[in-house]
Amino acid sequence: MLHLPPKIKSREDYYNYQEKALEEYGQSKPYIAVCGDTGCSIWGSKNIYDSLALHLQKKGLEQEVGLKYTGCLGLCENGPLAIVCPQEIFYQKVEPGDIEEIVDKTVLRGEIIDRLIYEDPVNRKKYTYARDLPFYQKQLRTLLKANWNLEPTSIDNYIAFGGYSALIKALTAMTPEAVVEEIKSSRLRGRGGAGFHTWIKWDECQQKSGRKFIICNADEGDPGAFMDRSLLEGNPHAVLEGLIIGGYATGAEEGIVYIRAEYPTAVEKIKLAINRAEELGLIGENILGSGFNFFVYLNIGAGAFVCGETSALVASVDGRVGEPAQKPPHLVKHGYLGRPTVVNNVESLANVPVIIREGAEKYCQIGTEKSSGTKIFSLVGKVNNTGLVEVPLGITLREIIYDIGGGIKEGKQFKAVQTGGPSGGCIPASLLDLPTDFEDLSAAGSMMGSGGMIVMDEDTCMVDIARYYLQFLTEESCGCCFTCREGVSRLLEIVEDISCGHGSLQQLELIKELGEVVKDSTLCGLGQTAPNPVLSTLTHFEEEYRAHIEQKRCPAGVCRELVVYNIDEQVCNGCGLCLKNCPAEAIRGKKNEPHYILQDKCDKCGICITLCRVQALTKS
């Protein structure tokens, strides 16, 4: 910790503080960034970090070589990641046994350790430096690049590289109206899924008087989405800075961070960030002598996807059951405790300091006319390079999946990409050249959503995908309004029937009719978008539904009721491996004689196929 006056009370104080922080955290000395995000830490990156620290100490190098336990570095597929800076030598799948070489060879002598270098799975080329990796080429890591030289727990590190300068600028050189105007010029749209223009909410709130609130929605509930989690774990101060600036612009003196309980690491990090900011006087009374007070409270969720819906969120903050309320009245008129309330997504808030610092005009140069700036996507599923990507809006889906994602795993065929989580839809191969922006994705029957992007290949059954999301939504629906509760569960019932081979063609029409009514008649966004996965898969993959109904066949070989496992008598050598391991005891056969499966006992778990060494097992 630096030994300076504990509070930053003016512009000058800030810049003095920044100078000193730069001395400590400046880029002149080499350092190793070890990714500490949840994804890599599960692979044991903390152990790698600790071992590196110990080794540096042993060698007496703690002063000359920096070590940072950072937020997400991007290529989650190949973690644990360690990047040696300033050259940005990209090491992946690092193991504890590698750390000595990393220090002795790479850091001290600039030698590259070949086995740790990224190799492209398609063209087999090796890439040493991060900037050369195809994964990073088409990205524009405006928000996430900061992670590479940031210790998320250190406010000094954040300030050293310009953190909180946007807050200083806003409070000392801009009026609240000017801040709103800047956000308006930037055309920033909500990153939580709805894509609503942020400035409109802020403007309306600013014009109201009395007690007001601004809430950061960190209840990221979409399965497969972890953008907000990584922002909060990797750079919590950026989100906090956005929240404080938002408070200044809207006139809300109380900020609330509502974060889901399932993100314990992120909860720790944001708590720490709030404390540190308070210590320095960047949160509290009369910040920088501007007369503006701002206090931040943390509120933790309790396991409900529906609490990501803003009015349910407010009910939850209030200690009531998380059930959405009808709008109108909108939250900005009647929100938390009946007061004007603005709710913003984590990523939207993280964009705010960027806009204020660099100006709206520069921000608008990225993205498209209607969708400016960058968006973080969690690219997961059957791609080679899964991880967290940040791209300028307007880039095509093909570029994300093939150029950045490295194409489909194991050379299989692309089938669909699911965007927008349970509220979104599936986009088929014919629409791969669609630009990724709010309008085009909605027009295709999906939506941008909060950023989850799940890639599917030929082994994915679209009926099963529809079933999965409907299952998720029936469990997460608050259950108040009839159309959502009954309607979504009836849709699930129909899709399950189809998946088991008991469907009829009339049911396809029924899905469309019921889906449209549920979308039209439900009170909140959950129900209004719940039919999207099934409707979009039905639109783009009707043949697959028909195969399930008319031929009682699952083309992808997924739907258990319709899949039949067979042992080829000609190939089977009677080794008995499948028989011994079948959990349903469905395989019979004498040693060294061809085995066979008792179909009525078979559970379709697929263990036998994975064990068979002669590939005698097939599924049809």
Partner 1 sequence: MVNLIMNGQEISVEEGTTVLEAARFYGMEIPTLCYDEGLSPYGACRLCLVEIGPPERARLFSACTYPAREGIIVRTNTRRVIKARKVIIELYLATCPSSKTIQDLASWYDVTEVRFPVKNEECILCGLCVRVCEEQMQAKAIGFIDRGTNRYIGTPFDRQSEECRLCGACMYICPVCQARCQGPQEEEVLCNACLNLSPPCLEKHDQALCYLDPCAACELDPASLKKPEVDS
Q: What is d(CA 102, CA 83) in angstroms, rounded to the nearest whole number?
A: 10
Residue of 123, 430, 506, 570 that binds partner 1 (CB under 8 A): 506
Residue 262 binding partner 1, by CB under 8 A:
no
Looking at the Cβ atoms of 119 and 513, the one nearer to partner 1 is 513
**Which stretch, 8-16, 267-275, 475-483, 586-594, contacts partner 1 (CB under 8 A)?**
475-483
Binding mask 314-333 for partner 1 (x = CB under 8 A): -------x----x-xx----
Q: Judge whether 211 and 339 are in contact, CB under 8 Å.
A: yes
Binding region for partner 1 (CB under 8 A) out of 114-122, 134-142, 398-406, 480-488: 480-488
- Beta-carbon contacts of residue 113 (< 8 Å; ≥ 6 apart): 91, 98, 101, 102, 105, 106
Residue-level length of the chain: 620
Which residue from 24, 361, 369, 493 is in contact with partner 1, where contact means CB under 8 A?
493
The closest of 196, 200, 215, 620 to 442, measured between CA atoms, is: 196
Q: Which stretch binds partner 1 (CB under 8 A): 81-89, 274-282, 417-425, 482-490?
A: 482-490
Member of 42, 173, 517, 598 binding partner 1 (CB under 8 A): 517
Size of the site for partner 1 (CB under 8 A): 31
- Counting contacts by CB under 8 A, is residue 505 touching partner 1? no
83, β-bridge pairs? 33, 90
Interface stretch with partner 1, choices 148-156, 172-180, 224-232, 488-496 (CB under 8 A): 488-496
Least separation in angstroms between CB 324 and partner 1: 10
Q: What share of the chain is helix, strand, coil (3-state, %, to 5)?
A: 45, 15, 40
Burial of 381 (0-12, 13-18, 19+ CB in 10 A): buried
For residue 215, list its beta bridge partners: 256, 343
Rounded to 5°, the CA angle 151-274-230 comes to: 50
Both tokens of 258, joined, read 């509502």
Residue 522 interacts with partner 1 (CB under 8 A)?
yes
Nearest distance from C-beta of residue 229 to partner 1, angstroms: 23
Is the CB of residue 464 less than 8 Å from the CB of residue 499? Answer: yes
Minimum CB distance to partner 1 smaller for 236 or for 421: 421
Residue 432 CB partners (closer than 8 Å, separation 6+): 396, 397, 398, 401, 414, 417
For partner 1, the binding residue among 16, 153, 185, 521 (CB under 8 A) is 521
Please report, in angstroms and rounded to a whole number, the separation of the first and last CA atoms in the chain.
64
Both tokens of 94, joined, read 């690092």
Is the Cα dihedral 529, 530, 535, 536 positive or negative?
Answer: positive
Q: Could you say whether residue 480 binds partner 1 (CB under 8 A)?
A: yes
From residue 329 to residue 368, the character string flagging contacts with partner 1 as x (rule: CB under 8 A) and all else as - is: x---------------------------------------
Q: Record the tokens describing residue 541, joined without a space.
A: 């993959």
Q: Binding partner 1 by CB under 8 A: which of 184, 333, 409, 485? A: 485
Nearer to partner 1, 403 or 486 (CB): 486
Is residue 496 part of the contact set for partner 1 (CB under 8 A)?
A: no
The three-state DSSP-derived secondary structure of 185-231 is HHCCECCCCCCCEHHHHHHHHHCCCCCCEEEEEECCCCCCCCHHHHH
The reply to whether omega before 6 is within 30° of 0 (cis) is no
**What is the smallest separation between the CB atom of 99 and partner 1, expressed in angstroms?**
47
Stretch that binds partner 1, among 129-137, 372-380, 515-523, 562-570 (CB under 8 A): 515-523
Assess 128 for contact with partner 1 (CB under 8 A): no
Pick 315 or 481: Cβ nearer partner 1? 481
Stretch that binds partner 1, among 46-54, 266-274, 402-410, 487-495 (CB under 8 A): 487-495
Establish if 302 lies at the interface with partner 1 (CB under 8 A). Answer: no
What is the smallest separation between the CB atom of 483 and partner 1, expressed in angstroms? 5
User: Does position 530 bind partner 1 by CB under 8 A?
Assistant: no
Q: 418, 530 in Cβ contact below 8 A? A: no
CB-neighbour burial class of residue 126 (10 A; exposed 0-12, middle 13-18, buried 19+): exposed
Return d(Cα 546, Cα 465) in angstroms, integer: 15
Q: Which is nearer to partner 1, 145 or 330 (CB)?
A: 330
Token pair 């099963």 is found at 464
Q: Using the rule CB under 8 A, which residue among 41, 310, 446, 474 binds partner 1?
A: 474
- Positions in the binding site for partner 1 (CB under 8 A): 304, 306, 321, 326, 328-329, 474-483, 485-487, 489-490, 493, 506, 510, 513-514, 517, 520-523
